[in-house]
């Protein structure tokens, strides 16, 4: 798959990381900040599902919104991924 011109330009920015992109695309309005806060209040489970202090909100036409979250995936017992297993 060919990389777009935009992605190629981003690759040339030294030190650019995911956090920079989230800061750029993150909440821009009071409404988006309120939506992110609502997501934190209703969805967050410490260590399982978390929403950063600055996050990306995508509101469509329906009565709700997508909020970027972090989900924990446990590797326990998964061959090749389990960091505590001898068969890593």
**Is the confidence at residue 88, as pLDDT, over 60?**
no
Degrees, nearest 5: CA angle 69-72-77? 160
What are the b/e assignments for 53-67, b being 16+ CB within 10 Å?
eebbbeeeeeeeeeb
Containing 5, the helix (H) or strand (E) segment is helix 5-11
**Is the confidence at residue 71, as pLDDT, over 90?**
yes
Q: What is the pLDDT of residues 1-60, one digit of tens each?
A: 677 898 889 889 999 999 999 999 999 999 999 999 999 999 999 999 999 999 999 999
What is the distance between the alpha carbons of residues 51 and 70, in angstroms, rounded to a whole number? 6
C-beta atoms surrounding 48 within 10 Å: 13
């Amino acid at each position: 798959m060919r990389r777009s011109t935009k992605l190629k330009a981003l690759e040339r920015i030294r030190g650019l990381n995911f956090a920079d992109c989230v800061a750029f695309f993150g909440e821009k309005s009071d409404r988006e900040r309120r939506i992110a806060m609502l997501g934190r209040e209703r969805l967050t489970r410490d260590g399982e599902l978390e929403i950063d202090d600055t996050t990306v909100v995508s509101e469509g036409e329906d009565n709700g919104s997508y909020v970027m979250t972090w989900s924990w995936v446990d590797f326990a017992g998964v061959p090749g991924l389990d960091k505590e297993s001898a068969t890593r």
